Structure 1
Amino acid sequence: MSFLHELRAARALRLPLLTWLAVALPSIFLHGPVPLYSTRTLAVAWEMWARGSYLVPLFNGAPYSHKTPLLPWLIHAGWAVGGVSDVWPRLLMVLLAGLVIVQSGLLAQRLLPQRPRIASGAAWGMVGLWYFVLFSWQVMYELPLAAAVLGGLLALCRRQGDGWRPGWIGLALAVGLGLLAKGPVALLHLGVPLLTARLWHPAARADGRRFARNATLAVLGGIALFALWLLPALLLGDPEYRHALLVTQTAGRIQHSFDHAEPWWWYLPVLLVLLAPWWWQAWWWRQVPALWRDPALRLPWMWLLGVLLLFSLISGKQAYYLLPDFPAFALLLAAAAERRPRLGWMPGLLLVALGALLVAAHFGWPPLPAEVQRSAALAGIALLLLGVALWRWRSLPAHAAGLLLAVATLHAAATPLLRAQYDLAPTAQVLARAARQGRPLGYLGVYQLQFHFAGRLQTPVAALDEADARQWARRHPQGLLVVESGHPAQTPAPLFQQPWRLRWLQVWPAEVWLGLPAQQRPLPPSAHSLRYQPR
Structure 2
Amino acid sequence: MFRKQLAAWADGLIFILTLAILVFGLGSYGLYEPHEGHFAGVAREMLLRGDWITPTLNGSPYLNKPPLLYWSIAASYRLLGIHEFAARLPLAFAGWLGVVVVWKWGRELGTPATGRVAALMLATACGWFIFVHQLLLDVFLGSLLLASYYCLWRLTGDKTPRKYQIAFWLLLGLCVLTKGPSMLVFPALAVLGVIATRSPTRVVSALGLPWGILLLLGVTLPWSLAVERENPGFLQYFLFNENLQRIADSRYPPDYDVSKVGGLEYLGISWVWGIPWALTLPQTLAMLWQETQQENTRVRRSHSTALTILAIGFAAPILLFLPLSSRLVYYGLPSVAPLMLLCALWWTQSRRRGDRWGRKFAGITYAALGGLLCVAAVGIPNWLSPQFPEIVSEAVVIALAMGSGCLVGGVLLLKRRPYRGLAAIILGMVVTYGAVTQGFIKFADERSSKTLITTAENRLEETTIWTFEGSRELGAAGAMSFYLDRDGTPISEISSQLSPSNFNDSEFPLGWVRGKPGLAYPIVLVLTDSGDNRIPPAFPGKPPRYQIDRARLQELWQFDRPVVFVTDFLRNPDDITDPLNRNLPENAGEPLMSVGQRYLYGNPAARRLWNLSETMDSDSL
1:497 aligned onto 2:597: no
1:252-267 counterparts in 2 under 5 A? 252-258=245-251, 259-260=254-255, 267=266
Query: Which residue number in structure 2 is paired with residue 102 of structure 1?
Result: 100
456, 459, 471: which one pairs with 2:551?
Answer: 471
Shift of 1:265: 6.2
Deviations 1:407-457 (A, max 9, x none): 314414524532443342122336767683152523244443341222235
1:259-278 counterparts in 2 under 5 A? 259-260=254-255, 267-278=266-277
* Structure 1 gaps, min length 5: 1-5, 514-535
Structure 2 CA distance for partners of 1:440 and 1:387, relative to 1, 3 Å: closer
1:223 aligned onto 2:217: yes
2:279 and 2:468 mapped to 1: Cα distance? 49
Shift of 1:337: 1.6
1:266 and 1:373 mapped to 2: Cα distance? 25
Q: Percent identity, please.
A: 19
1:206 and 1:403 mapped to 2: Cα distance? 49
1:172-251 counterparts in 2 under 5 A? 172-200=169-197, 204-205=199-200, 207-211=202-206, 214-215=208-209, 217-239=211-233, 241-251=234-244
Shift of 1:376: 5.3
Shift of 1:234: 0.6
Question: Are the counterparts in 1 of residues 390 and 442 from structure 2 also a CA contact under 8 Å?
Answer: yes
Between Structure 1 and Structure 2, whose CA radius of gyration is higher? 2
1:508 is paired with a residue whose SS is strand
* Structure 2 gaps, min length 5: 295-303, 352-358, 486-520, 532-547, 574-578, 582-587, 607-621
Deviations 1:235-286 (A, max 9, x none): 01143x3431232211112324324476666633332333344444464464
Shift of 1:175: 1.5
Question: Are the counterparts in 1 of residues 21 and 123 from structure 2 also a CA contact under 8 Å?
Answer: no
1:153 and 1:461 mapped to 2: Cα distance? 45
1:242 and 1:206 mapped to 2: Cα distance? 35
Query: Which residue number in structure 2 is paired with residue 367 of structure 1?
Result: 385
1:70-219 counterparts in 2 under 5 A? 70-110=68-108, 112=109, 115-158=111-154, 163-165=159-161, 167-200=164-197, 204-205=199-200, 207-211=202-206, 214-215=208-209, 217-219=211-213
Query: Which residue number in structure 2 is paired with residue 451 of structure 1?
Result: 480
Question: Are the counterparts in 2 of residues 192 and 307 from structure 1 also a CA contact under 8 Å?
Answer: no
Structure 2 CA distance for partners of 1:87 and 1:48, relative to 1, 3 Å: same
The 10-residue stretch of structure 1 (214-223 or 127-136) with the greater mean CA deviation from structure 2: 214-223
Query: Which residue number in structure 2 is paired with residue 437 of structure 1?
Result: 463
Question: Are the counterparts in 2 of residues 104 and 327 from structure 1 also a CA contact under 8 Å?
Answer: yes
Query: Which residue number in structure 1 is paired with residue 429 of structure 2?
Result: 404
Question: Are the counterparts in 2 of residues 67 and 182 from structure 1 also a CA contact under 8 Å?
Answer: yes
1:195 and 1:64 mapped to 2: Cα distance? 35
Alignment TM-score, normalising by the size of structure 1: 0.81
**Alignment-mate amino acid for residue 458 of structure 1:** P
1:279 and 1:217 mapped to 2: Cα distance? 39
How well do the aligned residues superpose, as a CA RMSD in angstroms? 3.6
341, 353, 363: which one pairs with 1:344?
Answer: 363
2:598 is paired with a residue whose SS is strand
Structure 2 CA distance for partners of 1:347 and 1:13, relative to 1, 3 Å: farther
**Alignment-mate amino acid for residue 327 of structure 1:** A
1:299 aligned onto 2:309: yes
Structure 2 CA distance for partners of 1:404 and 1:197, relative to 1, 3 Å: same
Deviations 1:325-375 (A, max 9, x none): 32221122122223325542333433443233234435x455363322355
Shift of 1:101: 0.7
Count of residues paired in the alignment: 496
2:151 and 2:285 mapped to 1: Cα distance? 31
1:506 aligned onto 2:599: yes
1:227 and 1:510 mapped to 2: Cα distance? 48
Question: Are the counterparts in 2 of residues 488 and 497 from structure 1 also a CA contact under 8 Å?
Answer: no
Question: Are the counterparts in 2 of residues 130 and 274 from structure 1 also a CA contact under 8 Å?
Answer: yes
**Alignment-mate amino acid for residue 257 of structure 1:** S
1:393 is paired with a residue whose SS is helix
The 10-residue stretch of structure 1 (410-419 or 119-128) with the greater mean CA deviation from structure 2: 410-419
Structure 2 CA distance for partners of 1:466 and 1:153, relative to 1, 3 Å: closer
Structure 2 CA distance for partners of 1:51 and 1:461, relative to 1, 3 Å: farther
1:481 aligned onto 2:481: no
Question: Are the counterparts in 1 of residues 465 and 524 from structure 2 also a CA contact under 8 Å?
Answer: no
Shift of 1:229: 0.8
Shift of 1:230: 0.8
Deviations 1:157-187 (A, max 9, x none): 3379963446221112112212112211331
Structure 2 CA distance for partners of 1:49 and 1:238, relative to 1, 3 Å: farther
